[in-house]
Amino acid sequence: MRSQAELGSEIEQPIPLQLPMSTRRAQKAAEAIREVVSMAILAELKDPRIQDVTVTYVEVSSDLRYAKIHVSVMGDETHQKLSLRGLQSAAGFLQAKVAERIDLRYTPRITFLLDQGVKRSIEISEILQRVLPKSSGADEPQPESLPPDAAADK
């Protein structure tokens, strides 16, 4: 068991500037998975349900056994759900593509999640446009100029 002095010294240590090796490795694996899956969706999947899909980012577990692939789908909500269902059914095929192209001890189990980031940013920009006044050259307040006789009084 550690004493409080030992625990206190661990807390006061500065945070290292570099990421630990496992985190860097997981980030590299996530980026490689993103590239492989996005290219396979674009070029190799023939499912008509999967259209207008963009892989935004990939989260990988620390042991590299699970991968959550976040996708953005252009279109209405029914089109998004349909594309997500198509991706879930093609997960085995895409997992095999990842296994072919990336040399890992374990092939990560793939799940797909709908990324709402683009939709939220559009909603936020619409709200801001409604709330904030529009700024144009004519609406901006002009600095008041002093009459010539007022400047002489000072």
Question: pLDDT for 4-56, tens place per residue?
Answer: 555 444 444 444 444 444 688 999 999 999 999 999 999 999 999 999 999 99
Please write the tens of the pLDDT for every residue from 101-154.
Answer: 999 899 999 999 999 887 888 889 999 998 987 765 555 555 555 555 554 554
Which residues contact residue 83 at a Cβ distance below 8 angstroms, ignoring those fewer than 6 apart?
A: 49, 50, 51, 52, 53, 71, 73, 75
pLDDT for position 11? 46
Is 54 in contact with 38 (CB distance < 8 Å)?
yes
**66-73 vs 109-114, strand pairing mode:** parallel
Q: How far is CA 106 from CA 29, 36, 84, 87, 140, in A?
A: 12, 16, 24, 21, 61
Residue 126 CB neighbour total at 10 angstroms: 10
3-state secondary structure of 74: coil
CATH 3.30.300.20 correct for 20-122: yes
Name the residue among 67, 77, 149, 151 with its Cα closest to residue 114.
Answer: 77
Is 109 in contact with 66 (CB distance < 8 Å)?
yes
